């Protein structure tokens, strides 16, 4: 992605690997401060996923793969048995960071598998190669979703999106924001409504920032305003990302997605989910099997931001001792979803069939 920092333009990925170091944009500080963080061990990478330095299903999948590669490099001096035990313990540490986005589990499984054959040096090389391949696959998938999704967006469309499913949620480009980028770059006049997305405010902090960087016309709206604009006929198209999609098309995505989907249906607006095949989980027959992450009540009781001097701080918005609940995701039943924009095309109902076919398009690419 193209990032302007202090007047200078940089072309960057959300995260990347340099030998045993993982580098990532610190998404907790955006848009007020731009910082690249270096993670020196798989434990540090796991902590970065848990603390949402890096977030978004695609990006945490890549981070999980890099974490396993770091573990393999950390264990390269060990014998085969201790190497295996070390990598497997590291994989478990990485798996325990965030439960909902399935990309994380698919990537860790693939890298752990790569670490299981041959001599220790062969295992190390295969693990690193697999982690890098997954990053590349993520990049390619975003490009494809951008192309397939663009075909659905007409000139003049006003598009609503929730949370951040942009370049920062992947290696680059994103899922839901990829079609928007392609449409804008191809000269279509589009306008984006970006939902604020409490409690972490990924819409306000990340999506609005990405759209601004790209020069795409947009307005940030509070989460409660989406229905208002839909009823007024000011939204033509809704597109969101996904953290896990069950075999029947039920989709877990950021909390608040479900109500946007119901409102879209009520108002006759197409509602699309953009996600690569890595986000589909055939082991979940429907949305009931998807674990929903419950995060700290602090995220509800407090907000983070910068004051007029740019000083970054945390402010309490509820009374001391307030009891809060904080489910991070919800499940949108498949019946509200018009289609899935994937890296192999747009999937239509009946989803059990179209999803199964899409996942078998290129054997072995999805866990
Ligand atoms: P991609 C986010 O969760 C949101 O649910 C968002 O839609 C999704 O990840 C984007 O992921 P969080 O990690 O599918 O910010 O676009 O809690 O990668």
Q: Are 156 and 123 found together in one domain?
A: no
* pLDDT per residue as tens, the chain (367 positions): 888 888 888 899 999 999 999 999 999 999 999 999 999 999 999 999 999 999 999 999 999 999 999 999 999 999 999 999 999 999 999 999 999 999 999 999 999 999 999 999 999 999 999 999 999 999 999 999 999 999 999 999 999 999 999 999 999 999 999 999 999 999 999 999 999 999 999 999 999 999 999 999 999 999 999 999 999 999 999 999 999 999 999 999 999 999 999 999 999 999 999 999 999 999 999 999 999 999 999 999 999 999 888 888 999 999 999 999 999 999 999 999 999 999 999 999 999 999 999 998 754 444 3
Atom of ligand 1 nearest to the CA of 279: 14
Q: Is 207 in the pocket of ligand 1 (CB under 6 A)?
A: no
Residues 157 and 128 in one domain: no
Q: Is 250 a catalytic residue?
A: no
Q: Which of the listed residues 14, 102, 165, 291 should we mutate to test ligand 1's pocket, taking the one with most ligand atoms within 8 A of CB?
A: 165
Final residue belonging to a domain, choices 142, 169, 191: 142
Q: Using CA atoms, how far apart are residues 296 and 262, in angstroms rounded to an integer?
A: 27
List the structure tokens of 223. Answer: 């989460």
Per the domain annotation, does 261 fall within a domain?
yes
pTM of the complete model beyond 0.75: yes
φ/ψ region of 201 (left if φ > 0, alpha if ψ in -120 to 50, else beta) reads: left
Is 154 found in the same domain as 231?
A: yes
For residues 138 and 177, membership in a common domain is answered with no
Q: Are residues 129 and 192 in the same domain?
A: no
Residues 154 and 291 both lie in one domain: yes
pLDDT at 362: 58
Question: 28, 30, 50, 56: which to mutate for ligand 1, most atoms within 8 A of CB?
Answer: 56
3 state DSSP class of 111: helix
Residue 141, ligand 1, Cβ within 6 A: no
Domain that holds residue 335: 150-358
CA distance 117 to 126: 9
**Burial grade of 315 (CB within 10 A; 0-12, 13-18, 19 or more):** exposed
Query: Do 299 and 157 share a domain, yes or no?
Result: yes
| Co-location of 296 and 234 in the same domain | yes
The answer on 68 and 32 residing in a single domain is: yes
Number of domains in the chain: 2
The CATH number linked to 292 is: 3.40.50.10470
Q: 138, 243, 250, 281: which one is catalytic?
A: 243
Quote the CA–CA distance of 28 and 305 in Å, as a whole number: 10
How far is Cα 269 from Cα 290, in angstroms, rounded to an integer? 26
* CB 58 less than 6 A from any atom of ligand 1: yes
Range 271-294 burial, b when 16+ CB lie within 10 A, else e? bbbbbbbbbbbeebeebeebebbe
287 lines ligand 1 (CB under 6 A): no
Write the CA distances from 109 to 45, 66, 68, 281, 358, integer angstroms.
16, 12, 9, 13, 21
Co-location of 154 and 136 in the same domain: no
Shared domain check, 250 and 200 = yes
Q: What CATH number does the domain containing 14 carry? A: 1.20.120.420
Rounded Cα distance between 235 and 194, Å, is: 11
Domain closes at, from 82, 117, 142:
142
Among residues 107, 142, 177, the one where a domain terminates is 142
């Amino acid at each position: 992605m193209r990032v302007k920092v202090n007047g200078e333009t940089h072309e960057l990925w959300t995260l990347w690997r340099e030998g045993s170091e993982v580098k990532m944009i610190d998404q907790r500080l955006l848009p007020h401060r731009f910082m690249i963080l270096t993670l020196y061990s798989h434990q540090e990478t796991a902590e970065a996923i848990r603390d949402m330095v890096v977030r978004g299903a695609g990006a945490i999948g890549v981070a999980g793969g890099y974490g396993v590669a770091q573990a393999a490099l950390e264990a390269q001096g060990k014998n085969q048995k201790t190497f295996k035990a070390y990598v497997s313990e590291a994989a478990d540490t990485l798996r325990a960071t965030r439960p909902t986005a399935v990309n994380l589990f698919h990537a860790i499984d693939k890298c752990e598998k790569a670490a299981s054959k041959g001599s220790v040096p062969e295992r190390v090389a295969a693990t690193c190669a697999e982690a890098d391949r997954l990053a590349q696959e993520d990049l390619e998938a975003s490009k494809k979703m951008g192309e397939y999704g663009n075909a659905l967006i007409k000139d003049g469309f006003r598009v609503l999106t929730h949370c951040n499913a942009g370049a920062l949620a992947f290696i680059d480009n994103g899922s839901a924001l990829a079609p928007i980028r392609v449409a804008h770059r191809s000269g279509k006049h589009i306008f984006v409504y970006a939902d604020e997305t409490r409690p972490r405010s990924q819409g306000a902090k990340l999506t609005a920032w990405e759209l601004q960087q790209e020069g795409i016309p947009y307005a940030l709206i509070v989460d409660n305003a989406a229905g208002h604009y839909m009823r007024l006929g000011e939204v033509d198209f809704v597109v969101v990302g996904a953290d896990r999609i069950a075999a029947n098309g039920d989709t877990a995505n950021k909390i608040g997605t479900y109500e946007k989907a119901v409102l879209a249906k009520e108002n006759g607006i197409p509602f699309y989910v953009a996600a690569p095949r890595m986000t589909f989980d055939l082991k979940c027959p429907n949305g009931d099997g998807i674990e929903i992450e419950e995060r700290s009540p602090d995220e509800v009781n407090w907000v983070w931001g910068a004051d007029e001097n740019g000083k970054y701080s945390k402010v309490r918005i509820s009374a001391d001792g307030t009891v809060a609940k904080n489910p991070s995701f919800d499940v949108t039943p498949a019946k509200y979803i018009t289609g899935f924009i994937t890296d192999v095309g747009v999937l239509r109902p009946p989803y059990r069939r179209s999803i199964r076919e899409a996942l078998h398009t290129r054997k072995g690419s999805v866990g």
